[in-house]
Amino acid sequence: MSALATAMVRLGDEVTGADRNLETKNIAFLRSIGVKCFPDDGSGIDAATDEIVVSTAIEGDNPGLVKARDLGIAVTHRAKALSRTLSGHKLVAVVGTCGKSTVTAMLGHILAECGMDPFCVNGANVPGWEGAVRFGRGEYAVAEVDESDKSLVAFSPYAAIVTNASADHYSKEEMDEVFDAFVAGCVGPVVDGRVLHGETDVSALGRHNRNNAFLALEMAKALGCDESRARAALMTFRGVERRLQRYGENVFDDYAHNPEKLRAMWTTLAERFAGGICVVWRPHGYAPLRKMMDALAEMFNDTIRPQDKLLLLPVYDAGGTTDRSINSDALAAKVPRSELVRDLDDAYAWISAHRSEFVAFATCGARDPDLPALAARIADL
């Protein structure tokens, strides 16, 4: 939502927004570019508001949404608003279960370095961009398109990259059907990571990033980029925030939240740090934890080495109505090399006491905005 707000501001719209937490880094950035931010109580909405843009996460009884309906203000889903915002460009959509943000950033960087000046809207902040947005005036737009609510049907892209498909929000079979239908409408090139495998050298760590770079490179070539120039661009790629973002020499922060992403993060660090790593992870929701419980346990037990340790935080509670009958203790019972910690301070205290037992540390999870701060604290030990 913050990326969409940024893109709309750069195209001349007056944008306001509401959030439960107005003290985050993203909120501070949005205010710096002119977005007025209000508490999530409906106070930012009045008769002068032209349109309300919402994500699937917004519940029907949200005060702002209720007020908008009472005032007869049009309500538009985020995907439709983003599609409209990018309608003046040939859209290259990046979809898939894992790697979307990184591939979007890589492709945007390549196109920019090759002189094509793309307009990019990502799902994660990128160093050198305005948060998650690169405002360009070229022919192409590159955007991460979310499959979690199947809202990708709102887009009619010129070209598309499918990074992969696995069970996350839906079964793998259902995701394959959604992605197949999505790319069928593209009139331009399609790079499908489900059937096209390869690796390309890139500045970012890990085999999964070499796979991501390969997909971005293939699309860049299909759009007309010189291959040697595109390959050189990948070696100057500065990464994506919260994607194995480094703090100091041996502390990292990552967005990993499902089995595939967590495995990729862990194995990448394990290859680099043979002496043992300690990872702090917070599940991002009760329903996802319940759905992925067995897959998470299997992945952790396959991936965690005898010299490693997993510290499990309680599920991140974003409020709202949800079934809270399951929490991280259920997963801890299935993973012998794990230990429960009460909160971020408790995790920091545990690591302080066991600092000498590990050669690297990582924090990871999708929602908790304070995880990067914990990584910074650990790096200062």
Q: Tens digit of pLDDT for each residue in 282-337?
A: 999 999 999 999 999 999 999 999 999 999 999 999 887 889 999 999 999 999 99
Residue 172 predicted with pLDDT over 90? no
Task: Report pLDDT for 42.
Answer: 96
The larger pLDDT score, comparing residue 58 to residue 107, is at 107
Q: What is the pLDDT of residues 46-99, one digit of tens each?
A: 999 999 999 988 889 999 999 999 999 999 999 999 999 999 999 999 998 889
**CATH code, residues 2-78:** 3.40.50.720
- Strand 251-254 relative to strand 140-144, pairing: unpaired
How many angstroms separate the CA atoms of 259 and 168, rounded? 9
- Please enumerate in sequence order all residues whose Cβ is within 8 A of that of 5, keeping only pairs 6 or more positions apart, or say none: 15, 17, 30, 35
- At residue 244 the predicted structure's pLDDT band, cuts being 50, 70 and 90, is very high
**DSSP notation for 154-198:** G---SEEEE----SSSS-HHHHHHHHHHHHHT-SS-EEETTT---
How many angstroms separate the CA atoms of 340 and 353, rounded? 15
Q: Which ranges in the chain are annotated with CATH 3.40.1190.10?
A: 86-234
> Hey, what are 283's tokens?
């599940």
Q: What is the pLDDT of residues 262-274, one digit of tens each?
A: 999 999 999 999 9
Check if the beta carbon of residue 15 is closer than 8 Å to that of residue 35. yes
- At residue 153 the predicted structure's pLDDT band, cuts being 50, 70 and 90, is confident
In the block, tokens 């090139």 appear at: 189
Residue 149 predicted with pLDDT over 80? no
CATH topology of domain 245-379: Protein-Tyrosine Phosphatase; Chain A (3.90.190)
Q: Which ranges in the chain are annotated with CATH 3.90.190.20?
A: 245-379
Task: Report pLDDT for 98.
Answer: 86
Q: Which ranges in the chain are annotated with CATH 3.40.50.720?
A: 2-78
Q: What is the mean pLDDT of residues 5-27?
A: 94
Residue 32 DSSP label: H
Cα–Cα–Cα angle for 283, 287, 289, nearest 5°? 35
Residue 167 predicted with pLDDT over 60? no
> Hey, what are 128's tokens?
């050198």
Check if the beta carbon of residue 82 is closer than 8 Å to that of residue 152. no
Burial status of residue 335 (CB atoms within 10 A of its CB: 0-12, 13-18, 19 or more): middle
Check if the beta carbon of residue 92 is closer than 8 Å to that of residue 224. no
What is 86-234's CATH superfamily?
Mur-like, catalytic domain (3.40.1190.10)
pTM: 0.86
Amino acid at 76: T
